[in-house]
């Protein structure tokens, strides 16, 4: 029975790995084990990266939605085109981009207090 080829009835998934070990040419079984372990390692690694607890929005008291509504208050008729949480000069802020017709506006909202911060324009 050890040297017999696998039949369809014997190829049920749970038995496949055990049956391959009994087949002559064990290198195929070793290669499959290495391949399976590599795929599982990659999946585990990606899950750790994408499910990272280092979510920057967790530190902000003001959510993205709240920051967008705060930025839209003085700009009636505008719509939000982008919202990004960043650290500027040690402060956590929401950078909100608005579009009013053809005009684009950038609004900075403090992520802790919810206040709109004044634009810092360089001296000319």
Tokens standing for 53? 């607890």
pLDDT score of 45: 79
Q: Which residues contact 63 (CB under 8 A, 6 or more apart)?
A: 57
pLDDT score of 4: 55
- Kindly give the parts of the chain with pLDDT less than 70: 1-29, 49-58, 120-124
Q: What is the DSSP letter of 1?
A: -
pLDDT score of 29: 67
3-state secondary structure of 24: coil
**Which domains occur in the chain, in start order?**
8-50 (no CATH), 56-117 (3.10.450.40)
68 within 8 A of 79, measured Cβ to Cβ = no
With tokens 């749970």, the residue in question is 14
pLDDT score of 73: 94
What is the pTM for the complete model shown? 0.53
pLDDT score of 110: 95
Query: How far from 22 is each of 8, 12, 31, 33, 68, CA to CA, in Å?
Result: 16, 15, 14, 14, 63
pLDDT score of 37: 79
């Amino acid at each position: 029975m050890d040297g017999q080829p696998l039949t369809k009835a014997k190829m049920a998934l749970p038995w496949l790995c055990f049956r391959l070990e009994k087949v002559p040419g064990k290198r195929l079984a070793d290669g499959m084990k290495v391949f399976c372990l590599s795929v599982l390692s990659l999946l585990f690694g990606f899950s750790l990266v994408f499910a990272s607890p280092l979510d920057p929005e967790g530190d902000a008291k003001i959510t993205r939605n709240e920051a967008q509504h705060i930025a839209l208050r003085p700009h009636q008729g505008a719509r939000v085109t982008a919202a990004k949480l960043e650290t500027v000069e040690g402060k956590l802020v929401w950078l909100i981009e608005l579009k009013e017709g053809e005009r684009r506006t950038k609004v900075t909202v403090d992520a802790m207090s919810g206040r709109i911060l004044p634009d810092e324009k360089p001296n000319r």
